[in-house]
Structure 1
Amino acid sequence: MTGESTMQWDLPDPFTLDITVRNEDTDRLGHANNVVYVRWLEEVSWAHIESLGMTWELHEATGKAMAITRTEIDYLASANAGDRLVLGTWLTGYDGRFRSSRQFQLIRPADGKTLVRAVSTHACVNMKTQRPSRAPGEFAEILGAAVVAGGRGLAAD
Structure 2
Amino acid sequence: MTTEKTFQWDLPDPFTIDIVVRDEDTDRLGHANNVVYVRWLEDISWAHIDSLGMTWELHEETGKAMAITRTEIDYLMPANAGDRLVLATWLTGYDGKFRSSRQFQLIRPVDGKTLVRAVSTHACVDLKSQRPSRAPKPFADILGGAVVAGGKNAGFN
Q: What is aligned with 1:11?
A: 11
Measured against aligned partners, the alpha-carbon deviations of 1:111-143 in whole angstroms (never above 9, x if no partner) come to 000000000000000000000000000000000
Give % identity. Answer: 82
Task: Give the number of aligned pairs.
Answer: 157
The answer to whether the Cα contact below 8 Å between 1:95 and 1:154 also exists between their aligned partners in 2 is no
Helix, strand or coil at the partner of 2:141: helix
SS at match of 2:111: coil
Separation in 1, partners of 2:116, 2:2: 20
Match of 2:110 in 1: 110
| Aligned position for 2:100 | 100
Q: CA deviation at 1:74?
A: 0.1
Runs of 4+ in structure 1 off by over 6 angstroms are none
Find the aligned partners of 1:58 and 1:2 in 2 and give their Cα distance.
26
Q: Deviations over 1:59-92 (max 9, x none)?
A: 0000000000000000000000000000000000
The verdict on how the C-alpha distance between 1:3 and 1:111 changes in structure 2, with shifts beyond 3 A counting, is farther
RMSD: 1.5
Q: Which runs of 5+ in 2 are unaligned?
A: none
Whether 1:120 and 2:120 are equivalent positions in the alignment is yes
TM-score (norm 2): 0.97
Shift of 1:109: 0.4
The answer to whether the 8 A contact 1:92-1:151 is kept is yes
Superposition pairs of residues 35-74 of structure 1, within 5 angstroms: 35-74=35-74
Corresponding residue SS for 2:24? helix
- SS at 2:5's partner residue? helix
Point out where structure 1 has 5 or more consecutive residues left out of the alignment: none
**Partner SS for 2:13:** coil
Q: Which residue of 2 aligns with 1:88?
A: 88
- Which has the larger displacement, 5-14 or 65-74? 5-14
TM-score, with structure 1 as normaliser: 0.97
Equivalent AA in structure 2 for residue 112 of structure 1 = G
Q: 2-side partners of 1:153 and 1:143: how far apart?
A: 13
Change (3 A) 1:81 1:3: farther
The match for 1:30 is 30
**Structure-2 change in CA distance of 1:135 and 1:7 (3 Å):** same
| Equivalent residues of 1:119, 1:152 under 8 A apart | yes
Which residue does the alignment assign to 2:133?
A: 133
Seen in structure 2, the aligned counterparts of structure 1 residues 139 and 3 have a Cα distance that, compared at 3 Å, is closer
